[in-house]
């Protein structure tokens, strides 16, 4: 089955063609750079940019996959969560295409898309597993009982993990979005430079919190002279990263132990982080197995939407064409 996936929930316009929920024939991603100068995504600018680029990106995806629209068996598009204007561009384009060509349409939860990136990248993940989805807008620890059946073990009380990276990067003058830049800078730093707070790490719940860590980093930077800050930039990045990542790893591995779950998947933009990957790898034990997608499938892309659409369609068939965008769509 050939699935055309469409993603436009934030500032990536992406169209993909995926075969049988597994083989990526094309995954064209355009990251809008118009937002950099504003220090964050401007919804109206994002909507207009999606509108301008969605058709050429769709044409490029079909060409790259060497298929025609008439070869496509299913059209999948993100319906939420995300920014309403950007969501509407991709969703409306997908529904129009489906209606005009009489191809079945299925709408996809963006977070289930992130989770599905692991099914694209790996075989042999236990149906029941633990998934840590860490993105710019979400921090979710889920028990996946089967595809589509989830129990939310924990999420964030305030900012998401990616949001914390972006805020700290902004304070440090690293630009927006700063997660990947901060990750790179931290590689040259010493994480023992400063012990920043690990919020809620020993708390019995699986909840996360990042605002205290952001404040601690900000106050520390304010206490430094310009010279001291310049000299310790990489150390601050490494120390922040160690604190941010340690809570994610500790809580996820505690949940795995308490729930007797051996397979752990990571997903979302922050799953691209080098320290997230290395600390999980260092700390898993015995029969535990770690899965994460390649970096190109961690950050927003349409291949993951096509994969999720494939599994959704198999589970419950097509969606109605009247389906609307839902900015705060929940997964659980
Ligand atoms: O999943 P994603 O592409 O979009 C959302 O659904 O939010 O995640 C984007 C987030 C941003 O906050 C970005 O800074 C962060 O993922 N990110 C990273 C890295 N690459 C992307 N954070 C830390 N380390 C990275 N290497
Ligand atoms: Zn995302």
Model confidence pLDDT, tens digit, residues 257-291: 999 999 999 999 999 999 999 999 999 999 999 99
Q: What integer pLDDT is reported at residue 315 of this predicted model? A: 97
Q: What integer pLDDT is reported at residue 75 of this predicted model? A: 99
* Cβ of 165 less than 6 Å from ligand 1: yes
Q: Report which bound ligand comes closest to the CA of 308.
A: 2
DSSP string computed for 208-262: B--HHHHHHHHHHHHTS-HHHHHHHHHHHHHHHHHHHHHHHHHHHHHHHHHTT--
Contact present, 134 and 117 (Cβ < 8 Å): no
Q: Which atom of ligand 1 is nearest to the CA of 161?
A: 12
Q: What integer pLDDT is reported at residue 194 of this predicted model? A: 98
Average the pLDDT over 149-160 and give the result: 98
Q: What integer pLDDT is reported at residue 314 of this predicted model? A: 98
Dump pLDDT digits (tens) for 211-221: 999 999 999 99
Q: What integer pLDDT is reported at residue 223 of this predicted model? A: 98
Contact present, 104 and 33 (Cβ < 8 Å): no
Backbone angles phi, psi at 279, to 5 degrees: -70, -40
Q: What integer pLDDT is reported at residue 120 of this predicted model? A: 97
Q: What integer pLDDT is reported at residue 313 of this predicted model? A: 98
Q: What integer pLDDT is reported at residue 69 of this predicted model? A: 98
| pLDDT classification of 116: cutoffs 50, 70, 90 | very high
The rounded percent of the chain whose pLDDT value lies above 70 is 100
Q: What integer pLDDT is reported at residue 200 of this predicted model? A: 95
Average the pLDDT over 107-130 and give the result: 98
- Alpha-helical (H) ranges within the chain are 43-65, 84-101, 110-121, 161-171, 179-186, 211-222, 226-258, 274-283, 295-298, 303-316
Q: Cα–Cα distance between 78 and 323 in angstroms, integer?
A: 11
How many CA atoms lie within 13 Å of 90's alpha carbon, on the beta-carbon side?
39
Q: What integer pLDDT is reported at residue 237 of this predicted model? A: 98
Q: Characterize 75-112 residue by residue with b for buried, 16 or more Cβ atoms within 10 angstroms of its Cβ, and e for exposed.
A: bbbbbbbbbbbbbbbbbbbbbebbeeeebbbbbbbbbb
Q: Cα–Cα distance between 20 and 210 in angstroms, integer?
A: 38
Q: Cα–Cα distance between 31 and 10 in angstroms, integer?
A: 10
| Cα 325 to ligand 1 centroid, rounded to whole Å | 22
Among protein residues, the one with the nearest Cα to ligand 1's atom 24 is 273
CB proximity list for 238: less than 8 A, separation 6 or greater: 186, 187, 188, 189, 190, 191, 193
Question: Domains plus CATH for the chain?
Answer: 2-114+297-316 (3.30.420.40), 127-293 (3.30.420.40)
| pLDDT classification of 249: cutoffs 50, 70, 90 | very high
| pLDDT classification of 7: cutoffs 50, 70, 90 | very high
DSSP 8-state symbol, 22 = T
**Average of per-residue pLDDT values in the chain:** 97
| pLDDT classification of 195: cutoffs 50, 70, 90 | very high
Average the pLDDT over 162-186 and give the result: 97
Three-state DSSP state, 43 = helix
| Cα 225 to ligand 1 centroid, rounded to whole Å | 30
The preferred substitution site among 35, 83, 135, 240 for testing ligand 1, maximizing ligand atoms within 8 Å of CB, is: 135
* Cβ of 180 less than 6 Å from ligand 1: yes
Dump pLDDT digits (tens) for 52-100: 999 999 999 999 999 999 999 999 999 999 999 999 999 999 999 999 9
* Cβ of 82 less than 6 Å from ligand 1: no
Among protein residues, the one with the nearest Cα to ligand 1's atom 20 is 180
């Amino acid at each position: 089955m050939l699935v055309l996936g469409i993603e436009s929930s934030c500032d990536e316009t992406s169209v993909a063609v995926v075969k049988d929920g597994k083989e990526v024939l094309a995954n064209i991603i355009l990251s809008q750079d118009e937002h950099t100068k504003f220090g964050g995504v401007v919804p109206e600018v994002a909507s207009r940019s999606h509108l301008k680029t969605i058709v050429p990106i769709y044409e490029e995806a079909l060409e790259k996959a060497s298929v025609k629209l008439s070869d496509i068996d299913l059209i999948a598009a993100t319906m939420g969560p995300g920014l309403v204007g950007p969501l509407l561009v991709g969703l409306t384009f997908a529904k129009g295409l489906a209606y005009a060509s009489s191809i079945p349409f299925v709408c996809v939860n963006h977070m289930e898309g992130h989770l599905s990136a692991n099914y694209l990248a790996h075989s042999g993940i236990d149906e029941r597993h633990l998934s840590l989805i860490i993105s710019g807008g979400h921090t979710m620890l889920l028990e996946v009982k089967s595809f589509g059946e989830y129990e939310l073990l924990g999420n964030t009380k305030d900012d998401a993990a990616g949001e914390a990276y972006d805020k700290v990067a902004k304070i440090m003058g690293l630009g927006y979005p700063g997660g990947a830049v901060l990750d790179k800078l931290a590689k040259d730093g010493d994480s023992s430079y400063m012990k920043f707070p690990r919020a809620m790490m020993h708390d019995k719940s699986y909840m996360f919190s990042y605002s205290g860590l952001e404040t601690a980093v900000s106050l520390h930077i304010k206490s430094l002279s310009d010279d001291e800050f310049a000299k310790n930039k990489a150390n601050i990045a490494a120390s922040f990263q160690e604190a941010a990542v340690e809570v994610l790893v500790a809580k996820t591995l505690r949940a795995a132990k308490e729930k007797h779950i051996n397979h752990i998947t990571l997903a979302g933009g922050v799953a691209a982080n080098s320290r997230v990957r290395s600390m999980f790898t260092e700390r898993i034990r015995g029969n535990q197995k770690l899965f994460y997608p390649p970096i190109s499938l961690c950050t927003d892309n349409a291949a993951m939407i096509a994969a999720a659409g494939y599994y959704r369609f198999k589970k419950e068939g097509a969606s109605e064409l009247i389906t609307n965008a839902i900015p705060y769509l929940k997964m659980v």
